Structure 1
Amino acid sequence: MRYLCLIYASEAQMAGVPAEDMPQFVNAHLDYDDALRASGQLVETEALEAAHTAAIVRVRRGQLSVTDGPFAETSEQLGGFYLVEAANDDEAVRIASGIPSARIGSIEVRPIAPPEQTP
């Protein structure tokens, strides 16, 4: 079963990582990526640019609306994701707990809906 592990952290939490520790933090992610890839559990992973680079797109009554910046004022922002294969929820949580960003922010784990359940 596939799970999406969404990485959230505030700008303050990320700023709390000393600049001299950032290369080690990034390398910890890359090493974890390699380990998950080697185990066959990593489907895809990507980091996202900062929330202020986002655009929010809505179509209401046929009218397009585009707003710059994050959807809501919130302290935590979506910073990236891991799409993983796991046997069950417990294994997905175990995988998410190994993501280095879990030590700074939080990881939301959500199962991917089977194709027959998607609109």
Structure 2
Amino acid sequence: MRYILMSHVDESALAGLAPEEFQATMGRFVAFTQALAESGVLRGAEQLQSPDTATTVRSRQGEVLLTDGPYAELSESFGGFWIVEATDLDTVLKYAADCPAADFGSVEVRSLAELG
């Protein structure tokens, strides 16, 4: 079964790190992704640009509304994701616990729906 691990990070916690701590943290994300790849479970991963680059689109009664920024004001923002394939949820939860995002926010785990 395929799962998505979604990184939700408190941007202010990352911004408060010293430059060398920030670089070390980014290195942990790279190492985490490499470990998933080396274990053979990684099916895809992407990092998102910062929330201030987002545009939210809504359609209401035929009118398209555009808003700069993310869809909601939250202390944590969606920063990226990993798609993994594993035999069970418990295995994926162990991967999620190793994700550096868990130290600066949370890692949301969901199974992916099979389309078609």
Fold-level similarity (TM above 0.5):
yes
What residue is the counterpart of 1:68 in the other structure?
A: 68
Q: What are the residue-to-residue correspondences of 1:96-111 with 2, within 5 Å?
A: 96-111=96-111
Q: What are the residue-to-residue correspondences of 1:45-56 with 2, within 5 Å?
A: 45-56=45-56
3-state DSSP of counterpart to 1:113: coil
| Structure 1 spans left out of the alignment, 5+ residues | none
What residue is the counterpart of 1:29 in the other structure?
A: 29
CA distance in 2, matches of 1:75, 1:33: 24
Deviation at 1:114, TM superposition (A): 1.7
C-alpha offsets along residues 33-74 of structure 1, whole Å, 9 cap, x if unaligned? 111111111111111111111011122333222111111111
| Structure 2 spans left out of the alignment, 5+ residues | none
Counterpart of 1:79 in structure 2: which amino acid? Answer: G
Deviation at 1:107, TM superposition (A): 0.4
What residue is the counterpart of 1:90 in the other structure?
A: 90
What residue is the counterpart of 1:17 in the other structure?
A: 17
CA distance in 2, matches of 1:84, 1:46: 12
CA distance in 2, matches of 1:11, 1:27: 17
Counterpart of 1:64 in structure 2: which amino acid? Answer: V
Give TM-score scaled by structure 1 length. 0.88
Equivalenced residue count is: 116
Counterpart of 1:93 in structure 2: which amino acid? Answer: L
Give TM-score scaled by structure 2 length. 0.90
Counterpart of 1:15 in structure 2: which amino acid? Answer: A
CA distance in 2, matches of 1:94, 1:36: 11
CA distance in 2, matches of 1:59, 1:43: 33
